[in-house]
Amino acid sequence: MSLTVRIDRLRRDLEQVSRFGATAAGGVSRTSFSAADRQVREWLAGAAAQAGLTIRTDGIGNVFLRVDGGEVGGRDGGEVGGGDGAPVWTGSHLDSVPDGGALDGALGSLAALEVARRLVEERVPVRRPVEVVVFADEEGSYHHLCGSTGLVRNYSADELSGLRGRDGDRLVDALAGMGWDPAAATRTAVRPGAVHAFVELHIEQGPILEARNAQIGVVTGIVGLGGGELVFTGRQDHAGTTPMRLRQDPLRGAAELVTRLPELAASVSQAAVATCGIVSVQPGAGNVVPETCRLQLDFRDPDRDRLLALEQAIVAAAEQAAGRHQLRVSYHRDSITDPVALDPRMQDLVESTATRLGLRTLRMPSGAGHDAQNLATLAPTGMIFVPSVAGRSHSPAELTTWDDVENGGNVLLAVVHALATE
């Protein structure tokens, strides 16, 4: 028997799911706990029922679809036998950034569903259960890697009630709006040893595989990532009557800081990056010199110490800019996610599996954050990348060829099968 994904079905699923939150630009806006997120969760429940998978949602919104050993036959054609009984997890996320693409997260989630279906319908003998995991709020509408963070540690009630979305809305209200009890979101951590291994298929989201003519990326590690907000405060004034030299315009300081980001990143390392993806001025009227300017920052480096040095350099530069423009500035760190190295044995398994399938591989680090970096603290973790056309992602331009989708799905299936039978 050749155990491969059914690409026609995986493609149909990806196309169907891309309609939830579809944008006019051809991408998707499916931010966590939105109406579109609710729709995709309903769709997933239907797909799970059709495939004979049991479904469970934890307190923070992570979804688990389970292939029980008995259903797929066990080692001896019956019960799941041997091992510690801890499941193999595979999956990704179904939320997106605003105006994002159709594949970031959806590929790894729906390929994992397809893997589960293939194991069930071929009645493949496995020694341990396989669970498809769809992580909640990977993109951090409320908190970066929100759902998978809840798997590695419990949120306290205080921390949870402080988490807010882009519009200032509270996570606990969003959870209640989904019909869930927010108190259950403080009881989501799984015990050490509860997961045998985790593997995630994902689009690369960058240009390396394409440039190197490789078909499968064997991910060696995941970048460290920080987020925080700078608030420059000046003096609100009339836009027509206040002479230019008398103004304390917070946007001037903010603009100066943003133009310095390339130099600040370069001062830390060649791999460091820093981005301001949200700027807002208050009160926000065309004829008012603003009182405050808020910058939402994202900064990354593969090394934790350099990541923290970059954060310090940004804050120091913000203070200098504030001084030059007679402003005050404050900084609030939202999150630091540590960089991780992925398990060497999992790297070898992904590489040897892809090579056996006749695919050209490349070992590479991930510049994007992934739930896998939380899971790596819980269980041996691997990631499989497939090429992104022109390296585009977090954009409606996100694209991967169907051949590459199929290749990634087949590598995922073979890796999950190997882990579930070892």
Residues of this chain that bind ligand HGY (CB under 6 A) = 138-139, 368-369
CA distance 232 to 290: 10
The listed partner (ligand HGY, Mn ion, none) that binds 396, CB under 5 to 8 Å by sort, is none
Question: Amino acid identity, residue 374?
Answer: N
CA distance 380 to 45: 28
Residues of this chain, 112-141, that bind Mn ion according to CB under 5 A: none
In this structure, the number of other CB atoms found within 10 A of the CB of residue 48 comes to 21
Strands 130-135 and 361-366: unpaired
3-state secondary structure 290-350: CCEEEEEEEEEECCHHHHHHHHHHHHHHHHHHHHHCCCEEEEEEEEEECCEECCHHHHHHH
CA distance 376 to 132: 16
Which lies closer to Mn ion via its Cβ, residue 37 or residue 104? 104
Which lies closer to ligand HGY via its Cβ, residue 13 or residue 139? 139
Residue 2 CB, shortest distance to ligand HGY, in Å, is: 33
Which lies closer to Mn ion via its Cβ, residue 30 or residue 252? 30
Which lies closer to ligand HGY via its Cβ, residue 139 or residue 249? 139
Residue 122 CB, shortest distance to ligand HGY, in Å, is: 33
Residue 61 CB, shortest distance to ligand HGY, in Å, is: 16
Residue 385 CB, shortest distance to ligand HGY, in Å, is: 13
Residue 109 CB, shortest distance to ligand HGY, in Å, is: 14
- Tell me the three state secondary structure of residue 355: helix
CA distance 218 to 33: 32
- Tell me the three state secondary structure of residue 3: coil
Strands 63-67 and 54-57: antiparallel
Q: Which two tokens stand for residue 127?
A: 């020694």
The listed partner (ligand HGY, Mn ion, none) that binds 107, CB under 5 to 8 Å by sort, is none
Which lies closer to ligand HGY via its Cβ, residue 250 or residue 369? 369
Taking contact as CB under 5 A, which single stretch among the options 56-64, 99-107, 168-176, 257-265 is the one that binds Mn ion? 99-107
- Contact (Cβ atoms closer than 8 angstroms) between residue 107 and residue 159: no
Which lies closer to ligand HGY via its Cβ, residue 109 or residue 248? 109
Which lies closer to ligand HGY via its Cβ, residue 139 or residue 301? 139
- Contact (Cβ atoms closer than 8 angstroms) between residue 79 and residue 168: no
- Contact (Cβ atoms closer than 8 angstroms) between residue 146 and residue 140: yes
Which lies closer to Mn ion via its Cβ, residue 97 or residue 350? 97
Residue 146 CB, shortest distance to ligand HGY, in Å, is: 10
CA distance 329 to 414: 52
The label of the residue with tokens 């729906």 reads 110
The listed partner (ligand HGY, Mn ion, none) that binds 371, CB under 5 to 8 Å by sort, is none
Residue 141 CB, shortest distance to ligand HGY, in Å, is: 10
Which lies closer to ligand HGY via its Cβ, residue 57 or residue 393? 393
Question: Amino acid identity, residue 247?
Answer: R
Residue 285 CB, shortest distance to ligand HGY, in Å, is: 32
Residue 27 CB, shortest distance to Mn ion, in Å, is: 12
Taking contact as CB under 5 A, which single stretch among the options 43-51, 104-112, 147-155, 411-419 is the one that binds Mn ion? 104-112
In this structure, the number of other CB atoms found within 10 A of the CB of residue 179 comes to 8
The listed partner (ligand HGY, Mn ion, none) that binds 369, CB under 5 to 8 Å by sort, is ligand HGY
Taking contact as CB under 5 A, which single stretch among the options 38-46, 101-109, 127-135, 167-175 is the one that binds Mn ion? 101-109
Q: φ, ψ for residue 72 (rounded to 5)?
A: -95, 10
The listed partner (ligand HGY, Mn ion, none) that binds 339, CB under 5 to 8 Å by sort, is none
Residue 203 CB, shortest distance to Mn ion, in Å, is: 8
Q: Does the footprint of Mn ion cover residue 104 (CB under 5 A)?
A: yes
- Contact (Cβ atoms closer than 8 angstroms) between residue 188 and residue 60: yes
The listed partner (ligand HGY, Mn ion, none) that binds 147, CB under 5 to 8 Å by sort, is none
- Contact (Cβ atoms closer than 8 angstroms) between residue 309 and residue 257: no
The listed partner (ligand HGY, Mn ion, none) that binds 351, CB under 5 to 8 Å by sort, is none
CA distance 124 to 77: 9
Residues in contact with Mn ion, counted by CB under 5 A, come to a total of 2
Out of 69, 105, 150, 339, the residue judged to bind Mn ion by CB under 5 A: 105
Binding site for Mn ion (CB under 5 A): 104-105
